[in-house]
Copies of this chain bind each other. A is one copy, B any other.
């Protein structure tokens, strides 16, 4: 559906925002509505107590949601998050984390998705997030068509 490849999205996720690019995420899957993002472990992500800090997981969840959105609509860089909710489930030991983003709802204006985060090769989740992205009105669809389904 979208004219964006996994490699192109990975470049966007790594180069779009320098601070986020430091996370050096890898795109493991990039299908319409199903996007998996890997966060390689780095010592700079560790918080007191020896676990991976919350902000790194929030950034990872946001990248996965952004991927879900762009997997559907293509390179609409100006899509922005309107809300994000995250629950931290278990402490994340120092290891690569895999975020699996899935579409919950796609509309002309709003896209809602959810993200499960777990250590790679481990089923015990460390975080779960849901969030909404809003598409800019000057996106790819003709504006007066776009509005009809009204978010």
B-contacting residues of A (Cβ < 8 Å)?
A: 16-20, 22-23, 42-49, 51, 53-56, 58-59, 62, 77-78, 80-91, 104-105, 109-110, 112, 114, 125, 128, 130, 132, 134, 136-138, 143-144, 146-148, 150-151
Contact = CB atoms under 8 A, between A and B. Distances in A.
Contacts of A85: 83-86, 130
B84 A86 contact: yes
10 contacts: A19-B22, A19-B53, A20-B47, A54-B62, A55-B55, A58-B62, A81-B88, A82-B151, A89-B112, A134-B150
Contacts of A137: 147-148, 150
A91 B132 CA distance: 15
Nearest to A143: B147
A114 B129 CA distance: 10
Contact of A82 (B49, B88, B144): B88
